[in-house]
Structure 1
Amino acid sequence: MHPFCCVSTVSDPSPAKPSPPLPNLPMPSAASIVHRSDSSSVRIAGSNHHNHNHSNSSTEYGRLSQRTTAMPAIAAADALSRMPSAREQTVDLKINDLVGNGISGILYKWVNYGKGWRPRWFVLQDGVLSYYKIHGPDKIVVTQETEKGSKVIGDESLRRMSRHKNGNCHQLRRKPFGEIHLKVSTIRESRSDDKRFSIFTGTKRLHLRADTREDRLTWMEALQAVKDMFPRMSNSELMAPIDQVTVSTEKLRQRLLEEGVSEAAIQESEHIMRSEFSVLQNQLMLLKQKQWLLIDTLRHLETEKVDLENTVVDESQRQLKDSGASSSLRQDKFSEASASETDDDNERVDAAEEETDDDENTFFDTRDFLSSSSFKSNGSDFRISSFSSDEEGLNAVESEDDIDPSIRTVGTNYPHVKRRKKLPDPIEKEKSVSLWSMIKDNIGKDLTKICLPVYFNEPLSSLQKCFEDLEYSYLIDRAYEWGKRGNSLMRILNIAAFAVSGYASTEGRICKPFNPLLGETYEADYPDKGLRFFSEKVSHHPMVVACHCEGTGWKFWGDSNLKSKFWGRSIQLDPVGVLTVEFDDGEVFQWSKVTTSIYNLILGKLYCDHYGTMRIQGNHEYSCKLKFKEQSIIDRNPHQVQGIVQDKSGKIVATLFGKWDESVHYVNGDCSGKGKGLDSLSEAYLLWKRNKPPKFPTRYNFTRFAITLNELTAGLKEKLPPTDSRLRPDQRYLENGEYEMANSEKLRLEQRQRQARKMQERGWKPRWFAKDRATDTYRYVGGYWEARENGKWDSCPDIFGQVPSDHLLE
């Protein structure tokens, strides 16, 4: 029977029927009784698991409830049969009512940090807890007619049913968005929130919240009552020895004698039968011994599970305490959804358990598995993510328990450097300017030729944006370590994850970075990430930015020429250039970025999307191809990335999938074949996951890492060359919220920038990079860090003031 053919309110006009004796089954309470309260919500009385005295509709019923709490089930049933007055004032809820007719109502289910708690209609029936959407195109309509028979919990549930009293009672039955089999699940209540509880299925945790503490109590008791109804033998029964069974041959002997069989033949037949039975009995004994071993193993595993949970929770709390900060990231509108409760270890909503509404379905292909929590997440349920506390360094990464411990610590063992966690508070109030009014006369033109006011900029330059792509540089560290151990496949998988991770910071970033001046530079010495980075604008037309980075056992470099076009309602950005990672052992990987577009310039919310094919070429054994899927208007699962890793023969050895703004997973082999999706994707492993957002969000939607890029730490200004982006005045004014000064300085510098093309035509020479004629790319020539150490910047132009003539080629 479909669960929604049997739901109704508690009120029942029919007279109460006498209850049959309760079966002698293990129950959480002596008797399960539902009564009518003033709010018509369902209550279950007398739970042994919760020592609460429930408010009752009569004093006599309250005394009965208190007495039956301590009684065995049969004695309680007998007491009920002797008290008709109490029985007349209650609506009987037999055990069969819970399993057969069911219980239903609204509970709030935790989805993720973006959506928070969402209401769902839950139905408990036949040992299965199902839930349905009550909003959107997939919603169900709950009415008294279509939901006849079930007991409804909660005032809000009753109100929803009454609102649809005259609705369509013959709607199509909808498949539930999720089902939980209570027989194999564990139910736990929150110790910090008296309205919350969770259900753990062994692979996934469902976090639920009721409207009131009474509703939670009712649900908890109903769930536990149904769970305890499943027939199960006691340990003593399971471990009881098998009684010695004897076989009588008397009837066989009598029958054979009637047939005239000789005594010798009868004795031989008896001997054969006893021998066969003895063999059968020995086999049964062996099976019984195996059963004992399995039971003992299960008991041992359960003990280990509890110990492991306690150990992980204690260790997580210890690390958080050592860091001197809370691990919760509370935002005002998601304050109720905080999942880092130190006294509620079974309620942690970490990244491995976050879901979206789309994830509640059962999917069977790569695209729809992108956000599923059925992956092997390479970490425990209580994993501490990057930036999970205010005092963690930028090198913090997720813990992973399925790889070698020495690999797991790669990227995390660098010294801690304290950096800022928010931008300065703005001094002035920002003005509102229409973007469309600025660009309507420039459709089809090059973006680099259009001068926009500072209100459309973010306080970072394109040079600093290059370094932002290295936020997850620990992936290159891991790739280096895997290669040292001879695992080339894991090396290219981590490089692929790194190539995708650079796009994560672009989500929600709709402001334009500052266009660097010719000769402008940017340095980033980050010992907490084990690297140092340097970039320079080497050409004004076309606008080319070159960068070079040195890490532990690897180097990264590249240049980028960004071609852009306005198309009325969108901006298309096509990167031109090659990014390269070279390891000390000689292995090299190269790739180019995909197309980026910014939409809804006229109407609607601005958003960006990345699409196209990225090919990562290696000079050794493997290569990788990643496809960024273009987002459609009605796409429910945007930002998808899918890819494959191939060996030299073209054989697919691994499959990657994920979202460029969330995570990347991989599975070994080719899972694109028909019928392979579900089994293969359930074995997926996490390569990369996006860091959590900052505690103090900015209007620019900066990540925690981006907030640090323009920071002038103590003593840094004296070491920087005069060309560094941190010293650019209009950018610094914008960061401080001095918009008028920022606009004034931006106009002044753009006037100087117009002279840059003339200087380039006269023979401008980049100071720190030179063009490699063979590859047509810019390579770092060296000397910057040595000049920084000596403080010799005589050869650097004063690009924010006057340009020395001796910096021009003769």
Structure 2
Amino acid sequence: TKTLHLRTDSRSDRAAWLQALACTRCILPLQSLSGDFSFLSPKDLSISTERLKSRLREEGIDESLIKECEEIVDSEFSEVQEQVKLLHEERKKLFDALKQLEMANLEAETSGIHDNGYRLPNPKYSSSRRGKYSECSTSASSDGKLEFENISEEDEPSFHDTKDYFSEPDAGSGHMHIKRRTRLPDPAEKERGVSLWSMIKDNVGKDLTRVCLPVYFNEPISSLQKCFEDLEYSYLLDQAYEYGKSGNSLLRALNVAAFAVSGYASTEGRHCKPFNPLLGETYEADFPEKGLRFFSEKVSHHPTVIACHCEGKGWKFWGDTNLRSKFWGRSIQIEPVGVLSLEFDDGEIFQWSKVTTTIYNILLGKLYCDHHGIMQIRGNRQYSCTLKFKEQSILDRNPHQVSGFVQDVTGEKAATVFGKWDDTLYYVAGDVINKASASLLWKATKPPPNVTRYNLTSFAITLNELTPGLEEKLPPTDSRLRPDQRHLENGEYEKANEEKQRLERRQRMSRKIQESGWRPRWFELRGESDGYKYTGGYWEARDERSWDDCPNIFGEFTEEIADCA
């Protein structure tokens, strides 16, 4: 007797299922694999060429040519016969294996072993959707008739979903699967153009982080969220961790190099400026589907410094960045200051700094950005990497080029890397570029089908989203709760401008707050060389909804908030 478990939502559904099973059993009776199965043997295949020869003779074809045609047909048929022979042997092996499995099942049943004996003893993950009509049992008697067991609600066997036992809920999220959006909301208003020259003609040579621009020049994400966007291809770090575990240190270093380059892919076509966070503003990203948690905070206003910390599958990533930007009439140059660090669970560490970014044709011509400079990825063990981002020239027909090499502690080049920072990255062993033998390290994802003027990637579109149940978990300092940014995302441009001006009045008081002894809530400065380090406690406070010491920085600014800060 074999027992099947069927889950339904109601008694009527269960009765309908049982009736359908009974009808199906009558139409298609079960047959044991131990029965005889007839296979088409290759020896049973034959072919005759008599009709072909007769037809050719009617056409007056020479006998020698007819014989040659017959030999061709026989040769082709022999090949077909060989293929049928192979298929016949494979099918016979398959059914032999199925017979062995059936015999094993019969032995298990006769020895009293049932499915219940193989259940994993993990009641913590039992299904919460179990209902009293979720199980029924059917049995096949020895005479082949289908019988229904009248099982009481108390005696019904427990139903267990397979996913309850073979997948565990993520420690950082209450959702096994989070459905994220694929497009931004449709704009509520029609956007009005703004003269760029009228806004920046008086700011030539100044630090643009201190220039108040209308919301038209912003994209609906903050610089804190922009930091997390660099981790879009975090799977490269997962791969690097696994390569290191298996003893392949070279491929680990190559994947780290690919990750360092991949962070620039999303900048292509992005001509708008992210929102400058308020002092103490934070952003969290809990992505169980990527196996990582990210957190960032604006830890200083003068100079503007953003610190971040991320934990993934076998690695930790952290750093702080200060962007120094200058406007030079026709271009804007952005120089990142700070060190990014990556540490694997086995103790191997890589550190690097970002290269210079320049945005060209601010006033006339097609606006575009370019990344250029030397990136040194320093490892504390066997390998380090040097990458050169080639500066684009006016006549350059092949822009965005990146090239470099991985070398060991002796200075010997172990691999060469080349590609484009917005497209793909390849590597070859040794110090000679041979594109024919190159292997792909990384490839950028395709742009989303719903393109807006912001040119956000599919990943960036999800960064400012408030997924169901998320808002009540967030601290009042999270970027998703920033009103001007939310209004811009919704296409409410007038409200966005009003809120941006209000918050920038508060921003101008940040220096006074910082000089009065303000300290970051989640990071601390460990020295000029070590930078800011995450002190811990954020995710624990999130679980407890303990945000009493986090002021509402997006609300109306008062002296009370200043004293609290």
Tell me the TM-score normalized by structure 1: 0.48
Q: What SS does structure 1 have at the residue aligned with 2:440? A: strand
Inter-partner Cα distance in structure 2 for 1:576 and 1:789: 34
1:548 aligns with 2:302: no
Q: Which runs of 5+ in 2 are unaligned?
A: 1-54, 60-67, 88-174
**Distance across 2 between alignment mates of 1:578 and 1:792:** 31
Write the distance in 1 (CA, Å) between the matches of 2:177 and 2:474.
22
Q: What is the identity, as a one-letter code, of the residue corresponding to 1:535?
A: S
- The match for 1:681 among 428, 431, 435 is 435
Corresponding residue to 1:517 among 278, 300, 306:
278
Matches within 5 A, 1:271-286: none
Preserved contact between residue 622 and residue 648 of structure 1 (Cα < 8 Å): yes
Deviation at 1:804, TM superposition (A): 2.8
Residues 493-642 of structure 1: pairs in structure 2 closer than 5 A = 493-642=254-403
1:758 to 500, 512, 522: 512
For residue 634 of structure 1, report the CA deviation from its aligned partner. 1.2
- In 2: Cα distance, 1:692 partner to 1:805 partner: 45
Q: Is the 8 A contact 1:569 1:600 kept in 2?
A: yes
Residue 213 of structure 2 corresponds to 452
Residue of structure 2 in register with 1:433 after alignment: 194
* 1:705 alignment partner in structure 2: 459
SS of residue matched to 1:682: helix
Aligned to 1:727: 481
Q: Within 1, Cα distance between the matches of 2:443 and 2:69?
A: 45
Paired position in structure 2 for 1:652: 413
- Cα separation, 1, equivalents of 2:369 and 2:196: 15
- Post-superposition offset of 1:415: 5.6
Q: What residue in structure 1 maps to residue 171 of structure 2?
A: none
1:216-295 to 2 correspondence within 5 Å?
none
Question: Once the 2 structures are TM-superposed, how far is the Cα of residue 417 of structure 1 from its aligned partner?
Answer: 2.5
Task: Tell me the distance in 2 between the aligned counterparts of 1:541 and 1:709.
Answer: 26
1:613-664 deviations in Å (ceiling 9; x for gaps) = 1010000000000000111111111100001000011001100111000011
Indicate the SS of the match to 2:336.
strand
Please, which of 778, 782, 801 is the counterpart of residue 536 of structure 2? 782
- Answer yes or no: is 1:804 the counterpart of 2:561: yes
Name the amino acid aligned to 1:753: Q
In 1, distance between residues paired with 2:511 and 2:70? 86
Equivalent position SS for 2:197:
helix
Residue 767 of structure 1 pairs with residue 528 of structure 2: no
CA contact 1:501–1:690 (8 Å) conserved in 2? yes
CA distance in 2, matches of 1:807, 1:553: 38
Cα contact 1:765–1:807 (8 A) shared by 2: no
Whether the 8 Å contact between 2:270 and 2:455 is mirrored in structure 1 is yes
Q: Is the 8 A contact 1:525 1:532 kept in 2?
A: yes
Q: Distance in 2 between matches of 1:522 and 1:486?
A: 36
1:742 aligned residue (496, 505, 508): 496
Distance 2:506 2:69 in 1: 86
Distance 1:774 1:460, change over 3 A: closer
Aligned residues with identical type, % of pairs: 71
Distance in 1 between the 2:460 and 2:176 partners? 19
- Answer yes or no: is the 8 Å Cα contact 2:181–2:462 preserved in 1: yes
- Give 1:692 shift: 1.2
1:419 maps to a residue whose letter is R
User: How has the CA–CA distance of structure 1 residues 433 and 620 changed in structure 2, closer, same or farther, with 3 Å as cutoff?
Assistant: same
Q: How does 1:46-195 map to 2 (within 5 A)?
A: none
Amino acid at match of 1:742: A
Which one-letter code corresponds to 2:204 in the other structure?
A: I
Q: Distance in 1 between the 2:179 and 2:323 partners?
A: 34
Report what 1:492 is aligned to.
Answer: 253
Q: Where in structure 1 are there 5+ consecutive unaligned residues?
A: 1-70, 76-232, 241-295, 305-413, 672-676
The answer on whether the counterparts of 1:556 and 1:579 sit within 8 Å (CA) in structure 2 is yes
CA drift of 1:785 comes to: 0.4
Q: 2:428 matched to which residue of 1? A: 667
Give the Cα–Cα distance (whole angstroms) in 2 for the partners of residues 545 and 685 of structure 1: 36
Q: CA deviation at 1:807?
A: 3.9
What residue identity is the alignment partner of 1:685?
Answer: S
Q: Deviations over 1:375-424 (max 9, x none)?
A: xxxxxxxxxxxxxxxxxxxxxxxxxxxxxxxxxxxxxxx96421000000
1:449 shift after superposition: 1.2
**Is this contact kept in 2: 1:483–1:491, CA < 8 A?**
yes
Q: d(CA) in 2 for partners of 1:484 and 1:436?
A: 54
Partner secondary structure for residue 500 of structure 1: helix
Q: Secondary structure at the match of 1:572?
A: strand
Distance 1:623 1:236 in 2: 65
Contact 2:513 2:562 in 1 (8 A): no
Q: Distance in 2 between matches of 1:415 and 1:435?
A: 46
2: CA distance between counterparts of 1:416 and 1:683?
Answer: 39
1:623·1:645 contact (CA, 8 Å) conserved in 2?
Answer: yes
* Alignment length (residue pairs): 405
Aligned-partner SS, 1:745? helix
Change in Cα spacing, 1:661 to 1:415, as seen in structure 2 (3 Å) is: farther
CA 1:792 to 1:234, structure 2 compared with 1: closer, same or farther past 3 Å?
A: farther
TM-superposed CA distance for 1:787, in Å, is 0.3
What amino acid is the match of 1:650? G
Give the one of 792, 796, 802 matched to 2:546: 792
Paired residues of 1:476 and 1:498 also in contact (CA < 8 A):
yes
Q: Deviations over 1:668-693 (max 9, x none)?
A: 1111xxxxx4xx21011111100111
Higher relative contact order (CA 8 A, sep 6+): 2
CA deviation map 1:436-480 (0-9, x unaligned): 221111110001111100000000000000000000000000000
1:423 aligns with 2:184: yes
- Residues 63-92 of structure 1: CA deviation (Å, up to 9, x unaligned): xxxxxxxx99xx9xxxxxxxxxxxxxxxxx
1:475 partner SS: helix
Give the 3-state SS of the residue equivalent to 1:445 in structure 2.
coil
In 2, distance between residues paired with 1:750 and 1:684?
50
- Looking at structure 1, the residues matched to 360 and 330 of structure 2 have their Cα atoms a distance apart, in angstroms, of 6
1:243-294 deviation digits (Å, cap 9, x = unpaired): xxxxxxxxxxxxxxxxxxxxxxxxxxxxxxxxxxxxxxxxxxxxxxxxxxxx
- The Cα offsets for residues 329-349 of structure 1, whole Å up to 9 and x where unpaired, read as xxxxxxxxxxxxxxxxxxxxx
Distance in 1 of aligned mates of 2:69 and 2:404: 51
Q: Deviations over 1:21-54 (max 9, x none)?
A: xxxxxxxxxxxxxxxxxxxxxxxxxxxxxxxxxx
**Whole-Å Cα distance in 1 between the matches of residues 272 and 363 of structure 2?**
15
Cα contact 1:581–1:589 (8 A) shared by 2: yes
TM-score normalised by length of structure 2: 0.69
CA distance in 1, matches of 2:386, 2:506: 42
Provide the rounded CA distance (Å) in 1 between the counterparts of 2:562 and 2:374.
44
Distance 1:449 1:234, change over 3 A: farther
Q: Report the CA distance between 1:769 and its aligned residue.
A: 0.2
